[in-house]
Amino acid sequence: MEEKKNPKKPLIYYLGIAVGIVLLLNAFVFPAILKNQVKEVDYGTFLRYVDQGNVTEVEVQENQIIFVVRNKGGKDQYYLTGRMDDPELSNRLYSAGVKFTKNIPKENSPLVSFLLTWILPLIIFFAIAQFFASRIQKRFGGGGNAMTFGKSNAKIYVEAQTGITFKDVAGQDEAKEALQEIVDFLHNPKKYKEIGAKIPKGALLVGPPGTGKTLLAKAVAGESKVPFFSISGSEFVEMFVGMGAARVRDLFKQAQEKAPCIVFIDEIDTIGKSRTGGGPISGNDEREQTLNQLLTEMDGFDPDKGVVILAATNRPETLDKALLRPGRFDRRVPVELPDLRGREAILHVHAKNVKMDHDVNLHTIARATPGASGADLANIINEAALRAVRLGRKEVKQSDLEESVEVVIAGYQRKNAVLSMKDKLTIAYHEIGHALVAAKQSNSAPVHKITIIPRTSGALGYTMQVEEGEQVLMSKEQALDKIAVLMGGRAAEEIIFNRITSGASNDIEQATKLARAMVTRFGMSERFDMMALETVNNQYLGGDTSLIVSSETASIIDEEVLNIIKSCHEKAKTILADNKEKLHELTKYLMEKETITGEEFLHVLNG
């Protein structure tokens, strides 16, 4: 996906070049000196040698004289002496029959000294400058070379590069349709202009993490045969004030040059946060400037030119209202968690690249994973493939998939967890408690699996229930039954051991959340009827809520919640007390097997 950047050349590379040059110069300039030991003598000694006829060769240089003396052994010895203003020297050498020259020494040749004094320092200087520039760039998230500060580093994706098309995105048909229209417009804008239709300037993909927003954008890039600029919101927020705005400007300049084209801003919430939302001390000048620039640019360009802006976020409620105004991101494309059919389709897309055994049934896996995102499902397929490899198989079996569903939900099995017999028994009763309450209520989902093998997530055991079909609505009865099932674990412990443990903490949390939502958001309490008591802050990320009521009302809400939980707890205890024999029998069976399926459970339950 990523465009390849030029690999950065390290400092050592430039130093290498500098050292190489120095060595080369040396090799030419000082060869004689390097090769031979040179003795320094005074001028008188030099003349004496000449007169004695021992000197074979003389080289007169600007400031010194180098001469060679052949000694008795026939070996040459180099000597060096200072040069005197001696007009008779030439005659003297001539009459002694010495070979002599006056040389312009190489080390002082204009070319070499020019290189040494001017070019070499420049090379070293640039090497160091380049090194620091690249370090600074790395720190501040830039790319390319030192001259591109402030340029957006949006990557251009075109069809050939992403290779992702709408076929790779399973489910999400509405989103695909909305985006298809944009792609279509960019292909033949005439059709739309003739009828007078205006294509939206921008479309905002909203939905929980992992539902395929980024994937969809990439698919649009693959589908449209136009340039596709992609940048992530976080890349805009730079270290230096003003950089983000500069990047936005540059991005839109590039886009308008390349029009028709698509600009995709991923995770736009990082720059598009509501401007009033910040505290009194505005540490967010930079982000604000970037956002303002974005708004200006979006207003500035002519949509007929064919620049369409896509953006994605999983926190639409934090976005500045100005961004959502008509003429900006006026179209919202919801990318929701997949339903049963969507999950099965996503599993099929990802299973295509994995060798699957014939017995594999992806429908069952889709049913066991309500609430899973596309990313979770892709992860489940991959975990299953890894498990198959671990077990030395060539194909993925259904058991691999089943296990990887649990890995993704609850973490890996903790093989080396040592539990005392008493703890294990408590856990077994606890889990059978959940399952038995579920089985004895008419509005509970059927039990799919019960296990008392601990998981790395900290779960000591769990009971998996799987709905028959896809559930969109939850009735009040279903909600109450669900809370009763959650109470079932603790209720079993109470009935059997007359002792309570910490093992129910997760159940308590879930049950309280649901009971609270019943009162504050679902209008399921007599007391408050259909009064809105809470707002959801971030719909797609955990769904935090905040109360919008007075403190007196808040304490009444707490009372209502407590009443729901207490009555469900009682109901669970009654069910288990009435079926104590089965509770013992099923627990004994679970202790032996450690993991049992829904069928085995029903088999034992029904005798």
| Residue of 251, 346, 484, 515 that binds ligand ADP (CB under 6 A) | 346
- As given in the structure block, the two tokens for residue 432 are 């059978």
Catalytic annotation present for 62: no
- 254 lines the binding site for ligand ADP (CB under 6 A): no
Determine how β-strand 331-334 pairs with β-strand 202-206: parallel
Select the span of 55-63, 163-171, 245-253, 553-561 touching ligand ADP (CB under 6 A). Answer: 163-171
Phi first, then psi: what are they for 206, rounded to 5°? -120, 145
- As given in the structure block, the two tokens for residue 605 are 């339950």
Site string for ligand ADP, 203-242 (x = CB under 6 A): ------xxxxxxx---------------------------
Q: Which residues bind Zn ion (CB under 5 A)?
A: 489, 507
- Report what 203 binds from ligand ADP, Zn ion, Mg ion, none; CB cut-off 5-8 Å by kind: none
Select the span of 209-217, 344-352, 385-393, 444-452 touching Mg ion (CB under 5 A). Answer: 209-217
- Report what 489 binds from Zn ion, ligand ADP, Mg ion, none; CB cut-off 5-8 Å by kind: Zn ion
Q: Among residues 312 and 485, whose Cβ is nearest to Zn ion?
A: 485
Residue type, 319: L
Residue of 223, 431, 493, 560 with catalytic role: 431
Supply the DSSP string of 170-189, one letter for each residue: -S-HHHHHHHHHHHHHHH-H
Q: Among residues 169 and 432, whose Cβ is nearest to Zn ion?
A: 432
- Report what 222 binds from Mg ion, ligand ADP, Zn ion, none; CB cut-off 5-8 Å by kind: none
Q: Among residues 286 and 507, whose Cβ is nearest to Zn ion?
A: 507
Residue type, 461: G
- 375 lines the binding site for ligand ADP (CB under 6 A): yes
Q: Among residues 81 and 172, whose Cβ is nearest to ligand ADP?
A: 172
- 248 lines the binding site for ligand ADP (CB under 6 A): no
Residue listed under structure tokens 């099929």:
348
Tell me the closest approach of the beta carbon of residue 192 to ligand ADP, in angstroms. 28
Specify whether the CB–CB gap between 151 and 229 falls below 8 A: no
| Residue of 81, 172, 214, 270 that binds Mg ion (CB under 5 A) | 214
Q: In what order do the strands lie in the sheet with 55-60?
A: 38-40, 76-82, 64-70, 55-60, 99-102
- Report what 209 binds from Mg ion, Zn ion, ligand ADP, none; CB cut-off 5-8 Å by kind: ligand ADP
- 441 lines the binding site for ligand ADP (CB under 6 A): no
Tell me the closest approach of the beta carbon of residue 504 to Zn ion, in angstroms. 6
- 373 lines the binding site for Mg ion (CB under 5 A): no
Q: Among residues 214 and 444, whose Cβ is nearest to Mg ion?
A: 214
Residue listed under structure tokens 């909203």:
206
Q: Among residues 58 and 407, whose Cβ is nearest to ligand ADP?
A: 407
Residue listed under structure tokens 């465009």:
3
- 454 lines the binding site for ligand ADP (CB under 6 A): no
Supply the DSSP string of 246-279, one letter for each residue: HHHHHHHHHHHHH-SEEEEEESTHHHHB-STTS-
Q: Find, among 160, 139, 141, the residue nearest to 150 by Cα.
A: 141
Specify whether the CB–CB gap between 300 and 265 falls below 8 A: no
Beta bridge partner(s), residue 265? 231, 311
- As given in the structure block, the two tokens for residue 499 are 């002792």
- 171 lines the binding site for ligand ADP (CB under 6 A): yes
d(CA 86, CA 61): 13
Helix axes 43-52, 89-96, angle to 10 degrees: 30
Biggest CA pair distance of the chain: 136
Q: Among residues 215 and 311, whose Cβ is nearest to ligand ADP?
A: 215
Contact set with ligand ADP (CB under 6 A):
169-172, 209-215, 312, 346, 349, 374-375, 378
- Which residues are known catalytic residues? 431
